[in-house]
Amino acid sequence: MELFWTIVFGLLFFGLLMASVALHEVGHLLPAKLFGVRVPQYFVGFGRTLWSIRRGETEYGVKLFPLGGFVRLLGMYPPTRPGARQTWLQRFADDARGYEWDEVRPGDVEGNRLFYQKKTYQKLIIMAGGITVNLILAFLLFWGVTGLHGTWREQPVVRSIQQCVITEQREDMACRPSDPLTPAAQAGLTEGDRILSFNGAPIAEYADLTELIRANLDRPATLVVERGGQQVTLPTVNTRVTGVRDTLDPSRVIPAGWLGVVPVMEKEYGGPVDVLQDMGQMAAQSVVALAQFPVKVFHVIADMVTGQPRDVYSPISIFGASSLAGQAAVQEAPIADRAAMFASLLGSINLFLALFNLVPLPPLDGGHILGALWEWVRRTAARLAGRPDPGPVDTAKMVPVAYAVGGFLLLCGIALIVADIVSPVKIF
């Protein structure tokens, strides 16, 4: 029965992901129509068409492979510049342009209905629309979790301390007289102490304390705590250097200072500012993950081929995310906690999709945004220098890059789906 519900909730999560993709494309569709761009197609999925319907000049539908979506905006590629030199790249660009321009009618050009004819701010709004939708969805999901359910956060209050440092692997992990005391034990920290400052720096949140301890390495540390309603300055001790997970890249272990404190966890309810702060931290982690994406995918493939266990911090496919969401939904926990985990995972993926689409390479939205900005820079520089308008940037010449990037992402997606089946990430 548990397997049945895991599959059901996994499929539900997959459906919600596809809804997020569909709304991402709506983020392009609506401003494009608002600014008068002709939109021939709006589809969720790729491959053979399963269902479609025409409303006005736009065909809406669903395709066979639900791994994304697209909106066709007519006139993405400007006409060939007169006298352009016929290099292989120019011929390649003209072939791609010809496919699109077969559908262009005289009225489209005269009516200013082609994408390349639009003003820079209009192009930016159209191309950033999908990213904006994903950011709004992520914000609303996280706000729902933080505001209605609450989020468990570490507090700068001592729940317990580790008494000794065990530097060797052994069956009995109890402290022995020969084991050195932890810095927390040496300083005399006790349960219930609220840490007010670390080496004179005030502590408002546990994250502040963590950052200071890590940066302190093995140098002296003086803590001031609130104990029994009074401020107490504890004896100065040296923190120890140990291996900890990097804040921005949890897959990497780095040397950092360590105290030996286990903090109190409390459920906190927050508002939009708290959500934005959390999203900022997650965005920083996602940027690091994106920069390492090709290398991490290679390691996933290598580990799968060699039979090595899957790194829990490795990238996953849509299939893998849906599987994890299904498993989260059937865990032995209160329904509210499971729903919050489900919503948080969906919010995290929407945030990642937004950042992923900001990568300045075609066919991603960021590539088109970069093209619009470069066109604006060229035209502005020409106007200031008193030169003729250089005209629109020939984005058709970036088609080979779009094919290369698209092919790479397709191969990565297939590899991750296979890995998620053969060697799935195990969190639960």
Query: Can you spell out the DSSP letters for 194-255?
Result: EEEEETTEE-SSHHHHHHHHHHHTTSEE-EEEEETTEEEEPPPEE-EEEEEE-SS-TTSEEE
What residues contact 403, with CB distance under 8 A and at least 6 apart?
none
Q: What percent of the chain is predicted at pLDDT more than 70?
A: 100
- Tell me the β-bridge partners of 272: none
Evaluate if residue 428 carries a pLDDT over 80. no
Lowest-pLDDT choice from 88-92, 366-370, 414-418, 422-426: 88-92
First to last CA, the chain: 17
Say if CB 157 and CB 265 are below 8 A apart. no
- Reduced to 3 states (helix: H, G, I; strand: E, B; else coil), residue 58 is strand
25 is catalytic: yes
| Residues forming beta bridges with residue 257, ordered by sequence position | 241
Half-sphere exposure of residue 163: CA atoms within 13 angstroms, side-chain side: 7
Per-residue pLDDT of 36-48, as tens digits, reads 999 999 999 989 9
Of how many residues is the chain composed?
428
Query: How does pLDDT run across 342-389, given as a tens digit for each residue?
Result: 999 999 999 999 999 999 999 999 999 999 999 999 999 999 999 999
Binned at pLDDT 50, 70 and 90, residue 5 comes out as confident
Domains of the chain and CATH, by start: 128-150+269-427 (no CATH), 153-268 (2.30.42.10)
Tokens found for residue 285: 């982690």
Please, are residues 362 and 368 in contact by the beta-carbon 8 Å criterion?
Answer: yes
Write phi, then psi, for 271 (nearest 5 degrees).
Answer: -115, -165
pLDDT for 331 equals 87
Q: For residues 43 and 88, what is the distance between their CA atoms, to the nearest angstrom? A: 32
**pLDDT of the residue at 97:** 85
- Residue among 285, 332, 364 nearest 24 (CA): 364
Taking only the tens place, the pLDDT of each residue in 157-183 is: 999 999 888 777 777 778 888 888 999
Share above pLDDT 90 across residues of the chain, in percent, rounded to a whole number: 72
Question: Which residue of the set 2, 25, 100, 268 is catalytic?
Answer: 25
- Quote the tokens at residue 188: 């005399």
pLDDT tens, residue by residue, 90-102: 888 888 888 888 8
The whole-number pLDDT of residue 238 equals 96
pLDDT of 141 reads 97
Q: 257: pLDDT confidence band, cut at 50, 70 and 90?
A: very high
Instruction: Please state, rounded to an integer, the average pLDDT across all residues of the chain.
Output: 92
